[in-house]
Amino acid sequence: MTDTHCPYCSLQCGMRLVRRGRDLEVEARPDFEVNEGALCRKGWTATGLRGHRERLTSPLVRDRATGELRTASWEEALDLVASRMTAVQEEHGRDAVAVFGGGGLTNEKAYALGKFARVALGTSQVDYNGRWCMSSAASAANQALGLDRGLPFPLADVEQTDLLVLVGSNLAETMPPAARHLDRLRARGGHVVVVDPRRTATAERADTVLQPVPGTDLALALGLLHLVVAAGAVDEEYLAARTTGFEAVRREVAAWWPERVERVTGVAAEELRALAGRLATAPRVMVLTARGAEQHSQGTATVLAWINLALALGMPGTAHAGWGCLTGQGNGQGGREHGQKADQLPGYRMIDDPSARAHVAAVWGVDPDDLPGPGRSAFELLERLGTDDGSRALLVMGSNIVVSAPDATRITARLEALDLLVVADVVMSETAALADVVLPVTQWAEETGTMTNLEGRVLLREQAVAPPPGVRSDLEVLAGLAARLGSPSHFATDPAEVFAELGRASAGGRADYAGITHERIRGGQGVFWPCPSREHPGTPRMFAEEFATPDGRARCVAVTHRGAAEQPCADYPLHLTTGRVLAQYQSGAQTRRIRDLPDTGPFVELHPMLATRLGAHDGDRVVVATRRGELEAPARITDAIRPDTVFVPFHWVGANRLTNAALDPDSRMPEFKVCAAAVRT
């Protein structure tokens, strides 16, 4: 019996794995406070890939004569990867080899991958799919609060607030065990507001639902703050004592009167006034943003607008109130803290900071001057692959780019143009199928490692079973390649040893893990970072006394609404938005292969008014087209979506062939959540 955590979303629900003969079964773990024994269907079926016929168990190398993948030994595969990477760098320079990671990698693997890129390869070209998860929220939090920790308080605080505003979150389907907090909040007399273009399962558990035009959440926040200011409900004492910059914000929101907001967002002025009245009078208000509000070309500004609203009400840093971000990927928080992002070193240190470079270089035993500088963000890295000024070789760990990248047809072509594509994965994902070398690696139950959940709680996922013969851990892969590349720094393969090194590298940084060890968190409730010493209890709640800025004050940042990069037109008259469904996770590489999870394939959600205009009926095949591509899928007719909007889930190949790669200027987040589209039968 092994106490561990679910391999999927950022809740990292506690679960128990039990061996019964040859089977590995999931049982409830009621002692873990985040989920109290509850699991969604993905959690209950999480062992479904064990022994799966599609599990990769030996390295594969593409035969140059036949073009087919053939079985190879580990020695042959690693020798080939190292020699070809070396040849590419000798011909084209260090940055000709790039690394792309994932928000599902453990902290140990994320740390080792960033170190591998910068020390073993000496490349600046490293980023990860978490750039497409909550980078806009991270950018906004760093600007406004001085620190990016998704939730600066435990998730359970949600049920103790008086007014909860969920912006762009469908947590009832994306992290179902968390939805109990909404029910408990309402049971004690609190009010839940959901802001979403679709009336989702989460909206069904809310008291108030606003359905704005996709891409207009920023205008909605500006309009609500306009009304709060007009009502004299701003906490002037809090603003004077704990913030700077609000006067510029006050001037900006003056122009966003309710009728103007209604014209932009489609939300009626009376609905805005009603919600503003609640905001003005609720003793405690909590605003939580998620991908629906953040995956936009103005995602950072949108989150800043909602933070401004929370600050104006005097909420951040007070008990059971404030602002937070609902992280999506399992290790979306920890994955970006320790070196996978193009501009960051471990401990959430910035790579262009001389003192940060000196600290981390000392841990790694290298000269700070030998560390590369900032590289390109995820999409910018990918769109230049195989070009004269881009990388010629790519190592991918923990990401299925072909399904998950925006404007995916273009990115797939860039992957195909590479001199060398190496993919480490558990199954033959759509990206692995393009690779020159495929490396079979361990999955969650076959390895030990830490994850950092959406609260900043560092948890230990324990190995429960041995991996199949022929499979190696990602840490072993990186160590093997580093040795062949002549790395000047040692790469450990024991997760506890790697985590101890991560602790030393993060010490003194904004995300300080120095006081956390595997032994300390084994079987327990985890420890919240920052935790600078073994004696430190961790930090469940942030900002009670000061914010993480040089002067301890939050920054109110004036922002304005620009709108989506693509607006509807005669040829593409609709808004397209994308999202998740309950039974699938991310690119679906794992969940689509689990027998007990329904694999419906993609579908197109249409309002009855739109369906009537098109002559479409439920189940009919329809085609969604954007400027980048087309997708044919069955129609689902529902009045839960706006008549001017269509929805497609992104777990299957096709959805992201449609999406727009317009980037947020601060976070470099692509605009996954809205683009102009047309539908035909």
Alpha-carbon distances of 357 from 97, 529, 660, rounded to whole Å: 21, 21, 35
Q: CA–CA separation, 192 vs 199, rounded Å?
A: 14
Can you give the pLDDT at residue 72? 98
Count CB neighbours of 183 within 10 A. 12
Strand partners, 345: 349
Strand 14-20 vs strand 23-28: parallel, antiparallel, or unpaired? antiparallel
Cβ atoms 172, 165 nearer than 8 A: no
Mean of pLDDT values over 162-173: 96
| pLDDT at residue 64 is higher than 90 | no
- 201 torsion bin: left (phi>0), alpha (psi -120 to 50), beta (else): alpha
What phi-psi label fits residue 435: left (phi over 0), alpha (psi between -120 and 50 degrees) or beta?
beta
Strands (E), 226-377: 243-244, 285-289, 322-325, 344-345, 349-350
pLDDT of residue 10: 95
pLDDT at 168 over 90: yes
pLDDT digits (tens, 9 = 90+) for 287-319: 999 999 999 999 999 999 999 999 999 999 999
The pLDDT of residue 138:
95
Q: Is 45 exposed, middle or buried (0-12, 13-18, 19+ CB in 10 A)?
A: middle
Mean pLDDT of 271-281: 98
Let me know: does 196 contact 168? Beta carbons within 8 Å.
yes
Return the amino acid letter for 85.
M
pLDDT of residue 328: 83
CA-based nearest residue to 69, from 549, 439, 622: 439
- pLDDT at 13 > cutoff 90: yes
* Residue 519 clears pLDDT 90, i.e. is over it: yes
Higher pLDDT, 599 or 570: 570
Residue 345 has pLDDT above 90, yes or no: yes
Which residues are 662's β-sheet partners? Answer: none
In this prediction, residue 101 carries a pLDDT of 97
Q: For residue 340, what are the CA distances in angstroms to 108, 180, 294, 330?
A: 11, 33, 20, 15
Pairing of strands 191-195, 574-579: unpaired
Each residue of 86-128: pLDDT tens digit? Answer: 999 999 999 999 999 999 999 999 999 999 999 999 999 999 9
pLDDT at residue 617 in the model:
97
Question: What is the reported pLDDT for 65?
Answer: 86
Region 470-493 average pLDDT: 98
- Give the C-alpha distances (Å, rounded to integers) separating 239 from 165, 309, 476: 21, 11, 51
Nearest one of 217, 353, 180 to 292, comparing CA atoms = 217
Residue 22 has pLDDT above 90, yes or no: no
What pLDDT does residue 88 have?
A: 98
Q: How many CA atoms, within 13 angstroms, populate the side-chain half-sphere of residue 612?
A: 6
The verdict on pTM exceeding 0.85 is yes
Question: Is the torsion defined by CA of 406, 411, 412, 415 positive or negative?
Answer: negative
Would you state the pLDDT for residue 336?
Answer: 87
pLDDT in the model for residue 51 = 86
Is residue 527's pLDDT more than 90? yes
* Helix 246-253 × helix 299-312 angle, to 10°: 110
Q: What is the pLDDT of residue 414?
A: 98
Q: Which residues pair with 636 in a beta bridge?
A: 605
Average pLDDT for the chain: 96
What domains appear along the chain, each with residue ranges and CATH number?
Answer: 2-44 (no CATH), 60-128+333-528 (3.40.50.740), 135-326 (3.40.228.10), 574-680 (2.40.40.20)
- Dist. CA 189–CA 170, nearest whole Å: 22
> Strand 630-637 to strand 604-606: parallel, antiparallel, or no bridges (unpaired)?
parallel
Torsion angles phi and psi, residue 670, rounded to 5: -70, 160
Band of pLDDT at residue 380, cut at 50, 70 and 90: very high
Instruction: Tell whether the model's pLDDT for residue 202 goes beyond 90.
Output: yes
